[in-house]
Amino acid sequence: MWNANARVRVLIPAEALSARISELAAEISRDHAQTERLVVVGVLKGSVLFLADLVKQITVPVELDFCQTASYGSGQEPGEIHLKKDVELPLRGADVLVVEDIVDTGWTLRTLLDLFRHRRPRSVRLCTLLDKAEAREVEVPIDYCGFRIPRQFVVGYGLDWGERYRQLPYIGVVESASEEIP
């Protein structure tokens, strides 16, 4: 539940996010200099702020699309990933760049990458702002990674806790008096 008194400790300040995103955009632009069709797919909702800042600095033409997943599961077992919203653009022959907020267990991205590969794109690459590598349960190839972070629950810059905190301009950790764990 939302705790109005919760404090958020800054883990990655806005300036560090901005500097790293410029580097990622330069690298992505370089790697796709020869590409004919680059389709950037944001995974809703958490990637939206990151994606907006990233694509503004990509210097090759891009097409934008979005998908959304939900996870069935108790939190004890690996979640079964279900597609709530599919992309609308055709991916066949395109260079696809999936943009995610965070890779945790890896199940979401493993499912999405497998799905998109079946549509016969020229390539599929993954760009994630955050990587919680210690929590990985299935292997996911990450082509572009903003920051590796420890295994803790983070919010801000698109990431939520019960739909709150997405608007924070930095990545933070909720330091709450509440007993409830997200």
Residues that bind ligand 5GP (CB under 6 A): 46, 100-108, 153-155, 159-161
Give the single-character DSSP code of 2.
Answer: -
Taking the C-alpha atoms of residue 98 and residue 116, their distance in angstroms, rounded to an integer, is: 9
Beta carbon of residue 173, minimum distance to ligand 5GP (angstroms, whole number): 9
Q: How many CA atoms lie within 13 Å of 123's alpha carbon, on the beta-carbon side?
A: 14
Give the single-character DSSP code of 100.
Answer: E
Q: Give Cα 26 to chain centroid, integer Å.
A: 18
- φ/ψ of residue 137, rounded to 5: -110, -30
Q: Which residues are catalytic?
A: 104
User: CB-wise, 107 or 116, nearer to ligand 5GP?
Assistant: 107
Rg value, the chain, Cα: 16
135, two tokens = 């929590």
Q: Give Cα 89 to chain centroid, integer Å.
A: 19
Name the one residue in this structure whose structure tokens are 């945790």. 104
Beta carbon of residue 170, minimum distance to ligand 5GP (angstroms, whole number): 13
Q: Which of 53, 1, 5 is nearest to 177 (CA)?
A: 5
Q: Which of 9, 21, 45 is nearest to 160 (CA)?
A: 45
Beta carbon of residue 94, minimum distance to ligand 5GP (angstroms, whole number): 23
Beta carbon of residue 166, minimum distance to ligand 5GP (angstroms, whole number): 9
User: CB-wise, 116 or 161, nearer to ligand 5GP?
Assistant: 161
